[in-house]
């Protein structure tokens, strides 16, 4: 399958992407891809450094005649989001991504593709390996753990980079240039509960919520996509007086809108017909509400063996109420930038099993005060239920600079090449520019990239024509980096 991907143009870009995708590179599991990148740099006889946090920096001298241009940093992140369909037999820790060409798109077989940010990384690799691409002196910065904490960017110390300009190649619409992004904070909710025996003569049921589109919890949060955790909780709320929860397993990663949720419950024998009637009604209502955005939503109820242990009624009702009251989705739109989500929350992961509850959220905002306002709202909600709440991994947003010199260069270059004006945007995803700017405050930063859809889900796909457009844009920018002052 990778053969047809390797045959795509530009070949250097797609071949480096295929090489990269052959290496397992999950967030916080970057050992193999770090070694891959170090070996890549050394094979090219380029200065290659691994900093204390685990980022890889490769430096390349200027192309002949470009020595008097400003030093340029090209930046992307090595890790990728690991998501797969429930019926996909795939081990992210040992296998490379299986890719295929589907019309004008490249996809993966049942998993995330890793185009976020693999195409950006592959583009940087292609420039580093080139012998005929005009460019100034380059510093390629490959960060780790962007997807689950941005610890690579946060751990990068001052002094490793000398560049005056940074191009972050991690956005997902080829007609947009990003000059700002949201910050984020992780919310972790934990509690223990007392397990009791299931009611006598109860009937076991499993409930599954599947078939949702899912997606990026920043870039896609405004679309009104179904959240499997909230849907499951809504179902359980409707039948909480006649059921007892044994287990819940919903969602996966903080930065992915949850696509699936599964629950095991006990139903009072005398309430079986009422239970099935309520489930049929609520399922129909939810599907009707989401039929336009999530047409493949499936809610299945299967009779099973009754569970041995369930939550107490008090613990169960407190859990359902807390999740119901917790905000999910857009919290506030920006007053300063049209159509920009300012603040949001994703209820990403819920597990209930063996007397333990864990709930994971990711709150994002381009305004620090608003970020903590929503985080404290969620904290208060869960604390009212008696749960322990931990706020961690906070990182800042990237404040837009509309007077950026590199923005002017990119805007003019785009307009000249493609005969249209690019969208100048701030995005609701977490780009690393804001964090990198804390130790490199004088660096002029900007972000752009090829069109990628469905990031953070197994529906992720990268547009082939857009990747060609992105490559042409990048090469033209490299040729026109300003002279040193």
Q: Which residues are catalytic?
A: 79, 146
Beta strands (DSSP E) in 312-455 are 329-333, 341-353, 356-365, 388-395, 423-427, 444-447, 452-453
| Separation CA 37–CA 43 (nearest Å) | 10
Q: DSSP secondary-structure letter at 269?
A: G
Beta strands (DSSP E) in 236-318 are 243-251, 256-257, 261-267, 298-304, 309-311
Q: What is the CA radius of gyration of the chain?
A: 24
| Separation CA 271–CA 277 (nearest Å) | 10
Contacts of 60-66 spanning 24+ positions with Cβ under 8 A: 60/127, 60/128, 60/135, 60/137, 60/138, 60/140, 61/137, 62/135, 62/136, 62/137, 62/138, 63/133, 63/134, 63/135, 63/136, 65/134, 66/134, 66/135, 66/136, 66/137, 66/481
Report the 10 Å Cβ neighbour count for 90.
16
Q: Can you tell me which residue has the tokens 């407190």? A: 318
| Separation CA 364–CA 342 (nearest Å) | 8
Tokens at residue 43, please?
Answer: 């094979």
Backbone angles phi, psi at 105, to 5 degrees: -130, 155
Establish how many alpha carbons lie within 13 A of residue 46's alpha carbon, considering only the half-sphere containing its beta carbon: 26
Q: What is the 3-state composition of the chain as percent helix, strand, coil, each rounded to the nearest 5? A: 30, 30, 40
Dihedral sign, Cα of residue 146, residue 149, residue 153, residue 155: negative
| Separation CA 340–CA 338 (nearest Å) | 6
| Separation CA 75–CA 71 (nearest Å) | 13
Q: For residue 125, with 0-12 CB atoms within 10 Å meaning exposed, 13-18 middle and 19 or more buried, which class applies?
A: buried
The angle that helices 115-129 and 31-43 make with each other, rounded to 10 degrees, is: 20
Dihedral sign, Cα of residue 290, residue 291, residue 294, residue 296: positive
């Amino acid at each position: 399958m990778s053969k047809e991907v390797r045959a795509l143009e530009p070949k250097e870009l797609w071949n480096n992407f295929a090489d990269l995708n052959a290496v397992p590179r999950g967030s916080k599991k970057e050992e193999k891809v770090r070694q891959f990148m170090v070996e890549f740099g050394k094979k090219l006889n380029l200065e290659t450094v691994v900093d204390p946090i685990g980022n890889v920096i490769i430096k390349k001298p200027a192309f002949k005649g470009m020595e008097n241009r400003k030093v340029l940093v090209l930046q992307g992140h090595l890790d990728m989001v690991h998501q797969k369909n429930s019926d996909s037999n795939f081990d992210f820790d040992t296998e490379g991504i299986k890719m295929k060409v589907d019309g004008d798109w490249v996809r993966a077989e049942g998993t995330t593709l890793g185009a976020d940010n693999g195409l950006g990384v592959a583009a940087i690799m292609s420039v580093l390996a080139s012998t005929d691409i005009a460019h100034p002196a380059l510093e390629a910065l490959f960060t780790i753990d962007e997807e689950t904490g941005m610890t690579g960017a946060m751990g990068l110390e001052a002094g490793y980079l000398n560049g005056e300009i940074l191009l972050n190649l991690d956005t997902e619409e080829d007609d947009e240039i990003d000059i700002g992004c949201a910050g984020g904070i992780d919310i972790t909710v934990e509690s223990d509960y007392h397990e009791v025996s299931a009611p006598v003569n109860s009937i076991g049921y499993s409930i599954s919520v599947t078939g949702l589109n899912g997606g990026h919890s920043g870039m896609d949060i405004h679309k009104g996509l179904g959240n499997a955790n909230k849907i499951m909780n809504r179902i359980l709320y409707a039948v909480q007086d006649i059921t007892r929860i044994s287990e819940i397993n919903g969602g996966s990663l903080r930065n992915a809108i949850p696509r699936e949720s599964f629950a095991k419950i006990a139903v009072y024998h005398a309430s079986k017909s009422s239970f099935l009637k309520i489930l049929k009604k609520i399922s129909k209502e939810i599907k009707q509400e989401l039929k336009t955005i999530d047409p493949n939503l499936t809610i299945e109820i299967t009779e099973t063996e009754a569970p041995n242990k369930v939550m107490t009624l008090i613990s169960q009702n407190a859990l359902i109420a807390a999740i119901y009251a917790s905000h999910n989705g857009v919290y506030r739109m920006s007053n300063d930038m049209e159509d920009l989500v300012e603040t949001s929350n994703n209820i990403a992961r819920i597990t209930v099993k063996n007397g333990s509850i864990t709930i994971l959220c990711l709150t994002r905002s381009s305004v620090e005060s608003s970020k903590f306002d929503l985080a404290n709202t969620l904290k208060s909600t869960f604390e009212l239920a008696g749960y322990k709440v931990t706020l961690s991994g906070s990182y800042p947003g990237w404040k837009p600079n509309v007077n950026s010199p590199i923005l002017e260069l990119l805007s003019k270059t785009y307009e000249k090449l493609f005969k249209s004006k690019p969208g100048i945007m701030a995005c609701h995803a977490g780009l690393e520019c804001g964090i990198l700017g804390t130790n490199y405050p004088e660096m002029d930063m900007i972000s752009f990239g090829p069109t990628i859809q469905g990031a953070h889900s197994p529906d992720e796909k990268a547009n082939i024509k857009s990747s060609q457009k992105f490559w042409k844009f990048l090469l033209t920018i490299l040729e026109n980096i300003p002279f040193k002052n």
